[in-house]
Each structure stands twice: as C-alpha cells, then as structure tokens.
Structure 1
Amino acid sequence: MQDHETPITQALHLVTTHFPHALGAVLGGSAAQGRATATSDLDVAVLLPNSDISRREVIRHEGRPAELFLNTLADIPEFFAWDRARRRGTVLFIYGEGLALTDPAGHLARTCEQVRAVLAAGPPPLSAAEQEQSRYGLTCFMDDLIDTSPARRYEQLSLADLTLNQAAHLLTAHHNAWTGIGKWLPRRLLSADPVRGKALLDGHRAVAERADPVPLAAAAERVLRLFGGPLREGYVQEWRP
C-alpha cells in the first residue's frame, strides 16, 4: 500500500480488480465515515449480475482486510428482508449510509433509494411473545448480577454483558430503532436513547472498573419499566416441537 492511498481508493481498486463485472459497489463502516485506522477493515457491498452467486467473503487487499457482502440483483430483496428481520440492518446501513464506489448503470442508486426507505421505517417490532421473553430474560440477568459476589468476577462480568445486551435489545425496540453488536451496540444505543442508553453503558462500565453492579441493575430496571416492569413469577413460555 502506498502512503497516499486512502481506504476509499483501496476499496475502489479492490472492486475493479476482483469484480470488474460489478453492477455497483459501496464502501461502508468506519472507512466511509472517516474513522478508519491503519488496521481497520474495509466493509464493501457489491452488486453482481444474476449469473453470479450471492455470498459473503473476507479477503486481504493491499495489506488491509476486507469484508465483502456480495449479492446478485435478484437476491437483493430477500437478503434485505433477512437483514431487516435481524434488527441490526448491517448491510442495509452499508448501502444506506456508505460511499458509492461505482455505479455504471444506476443499479446502485436505485438500490440505495430502496434501502433508505427501509432504514427510515425501522426494524420490525417485537411480537408480544418476544417482548415477554426478553423482559423475563433481562429480569433474570439483572437479578443474578445483583446476587453475584464481586469475588466471582468472571461470572459478574459475563452477567453484565448479558444484562447490557438484553436491555439494549428492549430499549432499541421501544424506540423502533436499530440495534447493533460489537462497537455498533453503544453507537446505536446512544442514538436511540441518549439518556437511558448512556445509563446502561455507564452501568456496564461500573461493573468492569469497580465491580459495582448497582448502576447497571438500576438502568436495566428503568428499561423494564417501559414494558411493565421486571417479570418473574407468572411468566409462561409455550413450547411446541
């Protein structure tokens, strides 16, 4: 890699080298937002002709890892529906907020227009059963977190992670907002609810730094109140083979 090459020029070179038949390509993630580091990967979505095969690949290009989301035009509607159902919209955000690299016939522009409408509508709402299951799960994690001695640090930290993730799942759903994993969880959480989201993140940090579970448990209970409060006795989950 030459010193003057940016992630954008690298991504464009990747597409023209590996996918000269591409109908369109877009760069997403940190690289598209100007937050890439020297070791950040490239998140690139590529539109392919229907004669190709939809897939996900990870390669290394010019010394930088690249995660490729490759979809044919015919597969795009079904793939986007699947991505929306996960409530994270990983590839939807690449198309909706990324930087266009190539679009020789306008396929990318039309696809991005569709995606922006999907992102604006938000993820699918949780069903009543999903709400109850998440509410019960968060109550259990919160109770176990409070009951776990700081001397059992591995268990305490594991429970803090579960509490944060389940609370984020419910809080983003309450706001009809997208969620995320990894570094995108705090970003999506703060975007959805700056006050309650920050309280959850600060509480998680208190467990990590001071072995103090009280702030995270209190923040989780505030989320639970949005759904009727903690759920313990009375919870029923039907099972069918």
Structure 2
Amino acid sequence: MNDQNGLASEARRLVTHRFPHAVGAILGGSAAQGRTSASSDLDVAVLLPDSDTTRREVIRHDGRLAELFIHTTADIQRALEHNRGNRRGTLLFIYDQGLPLLDLHGDVDRSRTQARALLAMGPSALTPAEWDRGRYLLTCFMDDLIDAPSTNRYEQLALADHTLREAVHLLTAHHRAWTGIGKWLPRRLLQADPERGRALLDGHQRVAERGDTASLAAAVERILDLTGGPLREGYVQR
C-alpha cells in the first residue's frame, strides 16, 4: 500500500508539472495495483480541455518512465469505443481498474462508467472476413512451422512466434475475450481458455527449448477445429 501511495503521489506530481491545465487523470497498470518494481513505468491517462490535442506520449519524469494516454474531454468517449474495437482494451482497463488522481468536473468518473459498460459488453466480434483471414494465416503459419527444417532454428522460432500470436487472436475471439500483446498475451490467453491456452504456450516453449514443433502444431489444430477448420485453397481476400 505504501508503494501504491508513493507511486500515486509521483504520478500526481507528473500531471501537475506537465499538465497544469488537466481536468482529470488516473493511474493505471501495475502501479495502481501496488505491483511494481524499481524499474516499472507509470501508465497515466490524462484528460485535457477540448482546446488541446489527443495523443500518446512516453516521457521520463524524476527518473521513471511514464506512458501517457492523453485525450481531450471531447475525444475520450470515441477513444474508449475504439479501444473495444481493437480487442485489447488497454485504455478501458486503465479507466476501470485505475486509481483516480484528479477529477475537476467529473469527466474521469463518467469515463470510468463508460469503460466498465464497454468491458461488460466484451470486445467487438470478428467479421466473417476477419475470421477467414485469421484461419488462413494460422493455417499457413502452422504448415510452414511443420515443414521448417529442425536445423534452421531462426525460421522455426520466427514461425512459432507468428503461429502463437495468430492462434491467440482466434482463440480469444472465439470466447469473445480480451486479447493482449507482450506480457499480456499469455495473461489474457490463460484467462480466456486455461486448457487450450496452456497447450499453446507449452507447445511454443517446446519449440524454443527443444526444436520440437509437434506439440504446438497439435495445439493449433485444436484451435482451427474449434473455429471452422484449416483454410487453404478457396480463400479469397477482397
């Protein structure tokens, strides 16, 4: 709790120093949950008057990196809706789970209410064209992974990474669950489907550690069976 309070104070000073005209701010990410290390960055959403501009910045303040999600009060509603569409919901989770730092006119509170409503709806569903493209890409990556020579570890690892990402994309979409990138990819994956998700991650690890592609390929085949089957000949992209 002391660390959380200290980081909140640090984030509040950042906002006051850099955005003296801010009407709202909220601290998100691990810092808001009190789960940080000495090198952790700060995720801070800032609301500015409509005379300013919406943007994303990465700065260093008092020796610590800070990623700033900056929106005007006129843009924040549209930004939250767009965040649902990209299926990662980064901004939605900041407003839902974050720690308010400043809220002069209630804009942060209203944005939190909207974010929670959008999170409850779940991420936007894939269109039929997006499903077909996902199945086609995953099928291609799986086929190439199986065919990759075990002596060419560069190709194996590159294909394993692409295969995992596309499989996660389809599996989370199947469950209408939020997805992620970086460290959030395995976290969101295991939340969405612990059994199939762990099979994918274990298969990916076996490729990395042993050059064994069979487990990952088998896990991918289960995802494809779940989402309409492999797609090769007959695929058309318009």
TM range (shorter): over 0.9
Name the structure 2 match of 1:85.
85
Q: What is the CA–CA distance in structure 2 between the aligned matches of 1:4 and 1:25, rounded to whole Å?
A: 16
Q: Which amino acid counterpart does residue 121 of structure 1 have in structure 2? A: M
Q: Greater CA deviation, 229-238 or 186-195?
A: 229-238
Q: What is the CA–CA distance in structure 2 between the aligned matches of 1:152 and 1:194, rounded to whole Å?
A: 31
Query: Any residues of structure 2 matched to 1:1-241 within 5 Å, and which?
Result: 6-238=6-238
- Return the TM-score normalized by structure 1: 0.93
SS at match of 2:81: helix
SS at match of 1:70: strand
How many aligned positions are there? 236
Q: Is the 8 A contact 2:43 2:66 kept in 1?
A: yes
Q: What is the CA–CA distance in structure 2 between the aligned matches of 1:30 and 1:220, rounded to whole Å?
A: 31
Deviation string, structure 1 residues 182-233 (Cα, Å, up to 9, x no partner): 1111111111111111111111111111111111111111111111221122
Q: What is the CA–CA distance in structure 2 between the aligned matches of 1:31 and 1:102, rounded to whole Å?
A: 16
Deviation string, structure 1 residues 28-50 (Cα, Å, up to 9, x no partner): 11212222111111110011111
Q: What is the CA–CA distance in structure 2 between the aligned matches of 1:213 and 1:145, rounded to whole Å?
A: 7
Point out where structure 1 has 5 or more consecutive residues left out of the alignment.
none
Q: What is the CA–CA distance in structure 1 between the aligned matches of 2:96 and 2:21, rounded to whole Å?
A: 22
> How far apart are 1:5 and its partner, in Å?
7.7
Q: Greater CA deviation, 166-175 or 210-219?
A: 210-219
CA RMSD, aligned part only? Answer: 1.6
Q: What is the CA–CA distance in structure 2 between the aligned matches of 1:77 and 1:160, rounded to whole Å?
A: 37
Q: Greater CA deviation, 129-138 or 10-19?
A: 10-19
**Change in CA separation of 1:123 and 1:62 when aligned onto 2, cut-off 3 Å:** same
Point out where structure 2 has 5 or more consecutive residues left out of the alignment.
none
- Return the TM-score normalized by structure 2: 0.95
SS at match of 2:77: helix
Q: What is the CA–CA distance in structure 2 between the aligned matches of 1:71 and 1:4, rounded to whole Å?
A: 24
> How far apart are 1:81 and its partner, in Å?
2.4
SS at match of 2:182: coil
SS at match of 1:6: helix
Q: Is the 8 A contact 2:81 2:118 kept in 1?
A: no
Could you tell me the percent identity over the aligned residues? 65
> How far apart are 1:4 and its partner, in Å?
10
Deviation string, structure 1 residues 92-125 (Cα, Å, up to 9, x no partner): 1111111111223322111101110001111111
